[in-house]
Structure 1
Amino acid sequence: MTAPRPSLTLTLLQAREAAMGFFRPSLNERGLTEQQWRIIRILRQNGEMEIFQLAQQACILKPSMTGVLSRMERDGVVSRRKSEQDQRRVHVELTTKGQQCYVAMSEDMEDNYQKILAQFGSEKLQQLLELLNELKQIKP
């Protein structure tokens, strides 16, 4: 019997957990979940987006996205509005409080990236990101 192939998906999950170990303490200090931070970061980078696009980019299932956005809207971090052209489409954007949250988190997040770079190396991290971006492009 041959040895099983190393699991790509399990290794990716384990690598994600290792990376998140650097960032989770900062998120916990500010009472943010990983999902909320992904949403804040994506909206800061892209501006207003439709919910389905945001869910896709943040890797959050639509049913979960609804609950996360409801809590974030309640907390004043995001605002939602229906499209004037199509009432079924809902747009989300960061509020001033959401923008301030991003700015407040940025220094901690950069410090955490520097800790990863110190251990992993800039060249290896760049190579990893390039390979992962290539992997994202393959289709089943």
Structure 2
Amino acid sequence: MNDLAPDKSAALAEINNRLFFRFFQAANTLHTKGTQALNDFGVTTQQWSVLGALSRPQAAQGMSVGEMSRYLLVSRQNLAGVLGRLERDGLIERATAEEDRRSRKVKLSAKGAELWAALAAPIHAFYGEALKDFSFDDRLAFIHYISRLQRNMAKL
């Protein structure tokens, strides 16, 4: 039961709507502007996220498709097409996992690692411009609140 006064309840509903609409707009802007930032490299924002996931030291031995799906919070079906294009372009490799020969791991190829290194400067410039009005503490707080929101939504 909502214990807020009716006027505060309406205001809260409006604020909630604005927050989620802003997230929607920010995601669309990230897709559009991120694609523009990566255009010279022929990389989409979806490919960027996969390459970024695989570039982490924790993924040096590769990731299963299931692990990547959970890490990126995307369905295996959506990931399959992106992985197929990255493999076709020689940016990732699929190899049999050493710990379970029935399982396959996805990892960056040498060409993929080279591309990721080339993407670092434009990606960091994009991040810097997008966050230029945020202090260090603002950025940490933002991470905190977005993580909290994501955890709450995951429970729904």
Q: Which residue of 2 aligns with 1:41?
A: 52
Superimposed CA distance per residue, residues 64-98 of structure 1 (whole angstroms, 9 cap, x where no aligned partner): 211211111111100012335252x3210000111
Aligned length: 139
Aligned mates of 2:24, 2:84 — CA distance in 1 = 27
State the identity as a percent.
24
- The one-letter code of the counterpart of 1:17 is N
Q: Which runs of 5+ in 1 are unaligned?
A: none
What is the CA RMSD across the aligned residues, in angstroms? 2.2
One-letter amino acid matched to 2:41: R
Tell me the TM-score normalised to structure 2 length: 0.76
Q: Alignment partner for residue 90 of structure 2, among 55, 72, 76?
A: 76
Q: Which has the higher contact order (CA 8 A, sep 6+)?
A: 1
Q: Is the 8 A contact 1:82 1:91 kept in 2?
A: yes
Cα distance in 1 for residues equivalent to 2:70 and 2:149: 16
What is the match of residue 35 of structure 2? 24
Q: Which runs of 5+ in 2 are unaligned?
A: 1-5
1:102 and 2:116 are equivalent in the alignment: yes
How do residues 6-17 of structure 1 correspond to structure 2 at under 5 angstroms?
6-7=16-17, 8-17=19-28
For the structure 1 residues 34 and 130, does the alpha-carbon distance in structure 2 shift closer, same or farther, using more than 3 Å as the test? same
* TM-aligned CA distance change 1:86 to 1:13, over 3 Å: farther
Paired amino acid for 1:50:
S
TM-score when normalising by structure 1: 0.84
- Structure ID, larger Rg: 2
Pick aligned residue for 1:50 from 64, 70, 91: 64
